[in-house]
Structure 1
Amino acid sequence: MKPPKFSVFLSSFLLLSFLLACQEKTPQQKDTLTVAKDFKFETASLSQIGLDSIQINKMEDSIKSGSYPNIHSVLILKNQKLVYEAYFKGHDELWGDSLGVVQHHKDSLHDVRSVSKSIVATCVGIALKQGKIDSLSQSIFDFYPEYVKYKIGLRSQITIEHLLTMTTGMEWNENVPYTDPRNSEIQMTSSEDPIEFVLSRPLLSNPGEKWEYNGGTTQLLASIIERATGKNIHEYAKENLFTPLGITGSEWTQFPGLDLPAAASGLRLKSRDLMKFGMLYANQGQWNGKQLLSKSWVKNAFQPHIWFGRNNNVGYGYQFWIFKANTISSGHDHLIPAAVGNGGQRIYIDSDTGLIVVITAGNYNNWTLKKDSEALLVDFIYPALISN
């Protein structure tokens, strides 16, 4: 789904100025599953890890009072230790259908919306490591011989990497509301064949030249996973990503009337499972001694392949947003990758400070809200790092 518009600033510690236009099993695998089930987060107090509890308490009070509305969970991991975890009640949805007011807790499944995109991309990285996909420079039409009629002109040059970085050059419009029939993702969802719908889009620019937010690229990536492995994206993710991480509960909403997971936005996970996903990347693709992703994949996934936004300060990796930041602690610009989902779903992974922050919320399609998930990060969490 369409990401929200960012405009975030934190004086004295973090400077962020964002502008977005828009949001077969082996015995070894069995052993990995046993270990993963036993995984427990290491914990520490805020003061033990050097975070100011006054700032975090202010954040919690502000959420409970509604000053920062409809936040459902906040988890903070610092230096591999879980130092804060809280859940809040609030109105929620399941892919647009109201669930009413929900009392969220650590076992609650939550829409992650476009964080799904980062999960899909990660499955591509795993399939690449497994040799199921030859190369990211492979033409997408290698997987679609029945759609060869669309392999013409510039479209014939689109590669898997162009899908990952949303630089296909396709005509695609997610800048209008999802209630607007002109919205390309809604058109894809409503089409009889979502894959053909995406492949048939006319090209407006050379592949690789221009970024355009495009949920259709994620749907193609999921389709390529299925064609390369014989498993749909949810099946493949459960076997090759979720099970090793000890993620035992997940749901993936399907397109209406089709046996097809909505790859760009349909996943539901627990907040702790989102934290595990962030930790996998912070650990350079390794989990419990097993290298699920190659280190080169992690590096490239978190590398801005294209810059945009005001003053080119927002980048995009492999279905991850990349934000340029400057911190007093480092004294230089560094990059903060994030998985971003409509409504306030976030995973921030700041390797410079050893910080991973997971936030879930129910502010779906509210693009003007100022006291949102990003504001929690800027107004409370980063100040807590420097207040002590």
Structure 2
Amino acid sequence: MKRYLLTLLIIIDTTCKIFAQPGNIIQQEPITSALQKANIGKVVFEADTIPLEGLKATDLLTNYQARPANNLYMRLLLANSLTNYQHILQPSASVEQLNQGNFQFTFYVDGRQVYQENLHKGANLPIVKNTKTTIFVPLISNRGEDSWGRSLWGRFINHGGDDALTTGIHQLKIEVRPYIAVPDLKVGELIAQGGISFTVPAIDPKDAQLQSIKPGSGWPVSNEAFDKKKIMDMNAMIAGNRFKQITSVVVIKNGKLLIEEYFNGSARDSLHNPRSVGKTFASAVMGIAIHDSYIKSVDQTLKEFYNLKKFNNYSAQKDNVTLKSLLTMSSVFDADDDKSDSPGNENNMYPTDDWVKFALDLKTDSSKVAGKQWNYFTAGVVVLGDILNKSVPGGLDKYSADKLFKPLGITNYRWQYTPKNVPNTAGGLQMRSLDYARFGQLYKNGGLWNGKQVLPQSWVKDSFTQHLTLPKDVVGEGFYGYLFWNKTYTVNGKAYETYYCSGNGGNKIFVFTDQPLVVIITAEAYNTPYAHPQVDKMMRDYILPAVLK
């Protein structure tokens, strides 16, 4: 009996130490789940979204098959809340100061540390940090959740995970620690860890084979040699879901179709949604409209097209916003799509019934100097589309068809429209990959198509000018033209400059300045952290090495 009582007292004492946490700075949520109590201090993995109260031990995964249809969710089962763990590191800090930190994640593959990250302070809400003892997020998901877990996984993949998780069976392990950032960075002891067997299946060799170019493309077919193995290796990466949600790759060299590959249910006649790639078409039509004298010049200001005093937040600064500043994303509006709390963020525009009014109602930012500071501003391109629509004969839809698409032989395309039924120049202009290639080749030709000057050569030159330097903290190295991006790839020690259109999901139209190349990549990796980095890897490691001499 005494032994039984002694054992009971030990159990009670241990339970109190684990769950009571008398030194807490804030009250954490009670731990009531039997499964959580049995797995305190573990990172567990699940295949679906099951509420904790309904979760059974049999729902926890011990192995995962990395196939496109399979999801992988991570759950942290903690003995205390993050804030209380942080309090141990800095007892004198306030809750608000502790909230400036977050979790540190360390990823191991087969016993080797591959990636470590101090999660951004904004990745969890304060209430989650302060009270929650369970954290549940997707790591790999085909449901498109907007989650820091998917972003974290994407950064792990981009920083060594992709190279570590080769074909075969691996052991993936995740360790979790708290960190604080105030007054100095400090990382605490291990609070959770867990592992899973991670299988990367071998692909069917036929899925890596080159796809033959069928007749009827509308392009002359190139007979130039290229490194077929490199392209087959790329195809294998796509088939194996290492490059995710890629739908097509088209390469034009010296004006001829060299490579035409389709993936994930896409085909030659598929219309792709390349999101902001469509912005650059607005730039092209603007160049044509200026040549036709329907628009005087890029130096025209908004006050020449709108009575800005009828809109909210009028200022003289707004009067002087030029078309050029909208084309180069350098206007003085209080807007930045890369900042979620920016008043002019595009996500605030879409629910409104008048997108132009949304843009012109915005305040200006007195700290900005027109034409000097780059901030991505989708609503500004909507304004450009509206100006075109009311300046050209027949409106933007008819004018772009007559002046751009028909001369290029593009007949199968689909505009999206604003709530005011104006072609949506924010993006979403759907076409076939081969027709995006026509647009790219038009610029490569200096505006010529079949002997006709469709686009003024001077406009191509101005578009392919490094008007602004891109901020490194947002997009890395590069420059910006007239709704064209600019960067340089280095392959085998040599630099290759390209101007390109870019859209959410990893959609690109590349036009190389010093090589006879136009490259199209379409993808549906929308709102993922890997969308653009994986395209850079495809270009740098596979496509360019395959086709450059």
Cα pair 2:305 2:387 within 8 Å, conserved: yes
For residues 378 and 325 of structure 1, do their structure 2 counterparts lie closer, same or farther at Cα, with a shift above 3 Å needed? closer
Cα pair 2:253 2:516 within 8 Å, conserved: yes
Q: Which of 396, 401, 411 is the aligned partner of 1:238?
A: 401
Q: Which of 260, 275, 296 is the aligned partner of 2:422?
A: 260
3-state SS, counterpart of residue 72 of structure 1: strand
3-state SS, counterpart of residue 336 of structure 1: strand
Cα pair 2:410 2:435 within 8 Å, conserved: yes
Q: Which of 326, 332, 336 is the aligned partner of 2:498?
A: 336
* Correspondences of 1:223-302 after superposition (within 5 Å): 223-255=386-418, 257-302=419-464
1:44 alignment counterpart: 222
Shift of residue 385, structure 1, vs aligned partner: 3.7
Q: Deviations over 1:280-327 (max 9, x none)?
A: 000000111111111111011011101023398311100010113456
For residues 181 and 160 of structure 1, do their structure 2 counterparts lie closer, same or farther at Cα, with a shift above 3 Å needed? closer
Q: Deviations over 1:240-280 (max 9, x none)?
A: 1111111101111223x542332212211110110000000
Shift of residue 186, structure 1, vs aligned partner: 2.2
For residues 181 and 261 of structure 1, do their structure 2 counterparts lie closer, same or farther at Cα, with a shift above 3 Å needed? farther
Cα pair 1:222 1:232 within 8 Å, conserved: no
Shift of residue 147, structure 1, vs aligned partner: 4.9
3-state SS, counterpart of residue 350 of structure 2: helix
For residues 313 and 175 of structure 1, do their structure 2 counterparts lie closer, same or farther at Cα, with a shift above 3 Å needed? closer
3-state SS, counterpart of residue 324 of structure 1: strand
Provide the rounded CA distance (Å) in 1 between the counterparts of 2:283 and 2:252: 23
Moved over 4 A (4+): 146-151, 180-183, 325-329
* Structure 2 residue 297 is the aligned partner of structure 1 residue 135: yes
1:173 alignment counterpart: 336
2:278 alignment counterpart: 116
Gaps of at least 5 residues in structure 2 are 1-150, 160-215
Higher relative contact order (CA 8 A, sep 6+): 1
Provide the rounded CA distance (Å) in 1 between the counterparts of 2:471 and 2:547: 27
Shift of residue 176, structure 1, vs aligned partner: 4.8
Moved more, 221-230 or 314-323: 221-230
3-state SS, counterpart of residue 111 of structure 1: coil
Q: Which of 231, 239, 245 is the aligned partner of 1:70?
A: 245
Cα pair 1:225 1:231 within 8 Å, conserved: no
TM-score, normalisation: structure 2: 0.57
3-state SS, counterpart of residue 110 of structure 1: coil
Counterpart of 2:462, as a letter, is N
For residues 323 and 377 of structure 1, do their structure 2 counterparts lie closer, same or farther at Cα, with a shift above 3 Å needed? same
1:55 alignment counterpart: 230
How many percent identity over aligned positions?
A: 30
* Structure 2 residue 497 is the aligned partner of structure 1 residue 322: no
Counterpart of 1:323, as a letter, is K
* Structure 2 residue 336 is the aligned partner of structure 1 residue 198: no
CA RMSD between the two structures:
2.9
Counterpart of 2:488, as a letter, is K
Provide the rounded CA distance (Å) in 1 between the counterparts of 2:490 and 2:239: 31
Counterpart of 2:327, as a letter, is L
Provide the rounded CA distance (Å) in 1 between the counterparts of 2:331 and 2:533: 34
For residues 187 and 232 of structure 1, do their structure 2 counterparts lie closer, same or farther at Cα, with a shift above 3 Å needed? farther
Provide the rounded CA distance (Å) in 1 between the counterparts of 2:482 and 2:511: 14
Provide the rounded CA distance (Å) in 2 between the counterparts of 1:160 and 1:122: 13
Q: Which of 513, 517, 525 is the aligned partner of 1:351?
A: 513
Gaps of at least 5 residues in structure 1 are 10-37, 90-102
Cα pair 1:226 1:233 within 8 Å, conserved: yes
Cα pair 1:114 1:341 within 8 Å, conserved: yes
Provide the rounded CA distance (Å) in 2 between the counterparts of 1:175 and 1:286: 35
> How many residue pairs get matched?
335
Provide the rounded CA distance (Å) in 1 between the counterparts of 2:398 and 2:479: 30
3-state SS, counterpart of residue 372 of structure 2: coil
Q: Deviations over 1:67-107 (max 9, x none)?
A: 21111000011121211001112xxxxxxxxxxxxx21111
Counterpart of 1:87, as a letter, is Y
Provide the rounded CA distance (Å) in 1 between the counterparts of 2:356 and 2:392: 17
Cα pair 1:141 1:151 within 8 Å, conserved: no
For residues 370 and 306 of structure 1, do their structure 2 counterparts lie closer, same or farther at Cα, with a shift above 3 Å needed? closer
Name which one, 1 or 2, has greater alpha-carbon Rg. Answer: 2
1:93 alignment counterpart: none
Provide the rounded CA distance (Å) in 1 between the counterparts of 2:293 and 2:352: 32
Moved more, 114-123 or 184-193: 184-193
1:81 alignment counterpart: 256
